[in-house]
């Protein structure tokens, strides 16, 4: 594999690391400016109504759902395919813990993602979370 391809893969890994850190620190400006493309889509569950379309809608949904919560998100074992110079796909194993005022959620599964390279760098264009397990305990 060429050095250039390795650098692109590393840039996508750094993008995903920022996603996890910005979610957990609730850095909404960072998510907007450094993580998602403007036309991004986020599907966070199996149902069709669990889709947020557009960066602004994603940020509004995340703010609403995570208000008052303390979270930790871990991503592991990335499988990243560079499709061409400006498009890539990835799958990440994941674990998350969401300590929300109304419930405690612990889960694991996979992120399925598509990336686009813009003038400012790689951004997440599509994200779908598929869970293998979720425990939600009311408080």
pLDDT at 48: 75
Q: What integer is the mean pLDDT of 99-113?
A: 97
Supply the pTM of this predicted model. 0.94
Nearest residue to 111 (alpha-carbon basis) of 129, 90, 98: 129
Contact 138, 54 (CB under 8 A): no
Mean pLDDT throughout 110-117?
98
Question: Tell me: the pLDDT tens digits for 46-88?
Answer: 777 789 999 999 999 999 999 999 999 999 999 999 999 999 9
Q: Domain 3-138 falls in which CATH fold? A: Nuclear Transport Factor 2; Chain: A, (3.10.450)
pLDDT, tens digit, for every residue of 6-37?
999 999 999 999 999 999 999 999 999 999 99
CA distance 117 to 75: 21
User: Could you tell me which of 8, 10, 2, 3 has the C-alpha nearest to residue 83?
Assistant: 8
- List the structure tokens of 78: 């990335």
User: Which pLDDT value is given to residue 46?
Assistant: 77
**For residue 47, what pLDDT is reported?**
77
Q: How far is Cα 30 from Cα 96, in angstroms, rounded to an integer? A: 20
Token reading at 135: 């425990």
Query: Taking the domains of the chain in order of start, what are their residue ranges?
Result: 3-138
pLDDT in tens, 116-126: 999 999 999 99
Rounded mean pLDDT of the chain? 96
The pLDDT assigned to 49 comes to 77
């Amino acid at each position: 594999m060429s050095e250039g391809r390795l650098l692109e893969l590393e840039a996508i890994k750094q993008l995903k690391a920022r996603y996890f850190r910005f979610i957990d620190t609730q850095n909404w400006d960072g998510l907007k400016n450094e993580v998602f493309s403007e036309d991004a889509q986020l599907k966070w569950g199996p149902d069709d109504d669990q889709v947020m379309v557009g960066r602004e809608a994603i940020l509004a949904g995340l703010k609403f759902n995570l208000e008052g919560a303390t979270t930790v998100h871990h991503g592991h074992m990335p499988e990243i395919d560079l499709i061409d110079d400006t498009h890539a796909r990835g799958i990440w194993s994941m674990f998350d813990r969401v300590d929300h005022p109304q419930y405690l959620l612990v889960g694991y599964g996979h992120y399925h993602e598509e990336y686009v390279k813009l003038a400012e760098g790689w951004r997440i264009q599509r994200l779908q979370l598929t869970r293998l397990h979720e425990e939600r305990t009311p408080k």
